[in-house]
Amino acid sequence: MKQFKTSKAVERLPDQFFATLIDKLNVYKERGYDTLNLGQGNPDQPTPEHIVESLKDGAENPEFHMYPPFHGYEFFKEAVAEFYKREYNVEIDPETEVAIMPGSKTGLVELSQCFLDPGDVALVPDPGYPDYWSGIEMVGAQMKSMPLREENGFLPDYNEIDSESWEKAKLMFLNYPNNPTGAMADEEFFKKTIEEAEQHDVCVVHDFAYGAIGFDGNKPISFMQIEGAKNVGVEVYTMSKTYNMAGWRVAFAVGNPSVIHAIEVIQDHYFCSIFGGLQQASATALLSSQECVTELAETYEKRRDLLVTGLEDAGYHVAPCQGSFFAWLRVPDGYTSQQFADELLEATGLFVAPGVGFGKHGEGYVRIGLNNSAETLTDAVKRFKDFAVK
């Protein structure tokens, strides 16, 4: 069969880390291994019923059977603004400071396409969400890693960024609560970020995917809460984690009007917004009682406590897990992250994500998802203990 040559943009794309992981897991399943998947970040709870009912209602609305407005329905944008006012006391203009996205993964790639040209630099957290890299590679820009080290609370040290990189930088990606480390950012860090962004004319993109999942009584801070944040960037929020709507593919960005406008311009060429029933259900989620969100965060915290206590009792070191639904485990001496993940899978059927897949500074760790029942995590702890004594 004839093979057509792909574009240079496609050739530049890195391997999709999570797709590669699942391919490996499936091989072991086919061999008959009793596997436990701790490597993905896929919410395991169902979408709350009142949100599902809102979607059902929307599906019967003939207005939603037609093309939606290119930039999304006003009622959804107004719900986003009300959500930010209620949760973070942040004023958002629904007309100029909200962009609707078909999932945050898509939006994060689009932002690189909006603001980067070949030769430009994007500042990316290392370790960090691998899909930040995809949009950067698509446009032929360069990445400058910002190391996240445990001794610094997994916050980047801006003093490590050289002057040439600052000069070429157009975008900076941040993500707190953090995937994969579970770290949280404080107000002082975000203030410093705004100062640096102002000084170097860099657009900040804060990926707030885990904004609802903070532990030990600490609510994650929205970047938009900090004075001046709206002037230097945007925050991307997904419905996936807060409301267990991962398969629904709904997200939004809030913040700087020029960035919001650019997102909407590029999406005019890719999409005609998203189905109105999805927008209605998402608005329902944002505006209804948030008891389901509170209960979800409490569930993840209980799972964290179970997992971390068990692992530490077995002699493992787990970095402080302050938020998100991940634990960041340091691999034992003598292993690389890939070797540990491979041998753990071979010996016990436990499937974890090697830290090096999130960047070179992820070496020495593996990521463990809390997206499993307490019973499954109890089983996982036993298998970790069995592996540790071999």
41 with 97, same domain: the answer is: no
Contacts of residue 239, defined as CB under 8 A and 6 or more positions apart, other chains included, come to 245, 248, 250, 251, 282, 285
Domain total in the chain: 2
Domain presence at residue 372: yes
Which sign, positive or negative, has the C-alpha torsion 143, 149, 154, 158?
Answer: negative
Of the three residues 234, 254, 287, the one that is the final residue of a domain is 287
Q: Which two tokens stand for residue 197?
A: 């962004």
**pLDDT digits 0-9 by tens, 40-95:** 888 999 999 999 999 999 999 999 999 999 999 999 999 999 999 999 999 999 99
Instruction: For the chain, give the mean pLDDT.
Output: 94
Domain presence at residue 359: yes
**pLDDT digits 0-9 by tens, 146-167:** 999 999 999 999 999 999 999 9
> Which range of residues forms the domain containing residue 25?
8-46+292-388
Q: Percentage of the chain surpassing pLDDT 70?
A: 98
User: For 216-237, what is the mean pLDDT?
Assistant: 97
Contacts of residue 302, defined as CB under 8 A and 6 or more positions apart, other chains included, come to 374
301 with 277, same domain: the answer is: no
92 with 193, same domain: the answer is: yes
What is the structure's pLDDT at 2? 83
235 with 316, same domain: the answer is: no
Domain presence at residue 144: yes
Of the three residues 269, 287, 305, the one that is the final residue of a domain is 287
213 with 307, same domain: the answer is: no
Does the structure show a pLDDT above 70 at 16?
Answer: no
| Residues 4, 74: Cα–Cα separation, whole Å | 43
Give me the CATH number covering residue 251: 3.40.640.10
78 with 219, same domain: the answer is: yes
Domain presence at residue 195: yes
Domain presence at residue 3: no
Domain presence at residue 117: yes
Domain presence at residue 1: no
170 with 318, same domain: the answer is: no
**pLDDT digits 0-9 by tens, 129-150:** 989 999 999 999 999 999 999 9
Q: At 382, which helix (H) or strand (E)?
A: helix 374-388
346 with 270, same domain: the answer is: no
103 with 38, same domain: the answer is: no
299 with 199, same domain: the answer is: no
What is the structure's pLDDT at 24? 73
| Residues 372, 209: Cα–Cα separation, whole Å | 19
- Tell me how far CA of residue 93 lies from CA of 103, 200, 217, 230, in angstroms: 21, 26, 30, 11
Of the three residues 287, 322, 337, the one that is the final residue of a domain is 287
What is the structure's pLDDT at 342? 92
Residue 64 CB neighbours (<10 A): 18
Q: Scanning the structure block, which residue is given the tokens 């100029």?
A: 96
What is the rounded (10 degree) CA torsion for 85, 91, 97, 103? -20
Does the structure show a pLDDT above 70 at 251?
Answer: yes
Q: Number of C-alpha atoms within 13 angstroms, CB side, residue 143?
A: 23
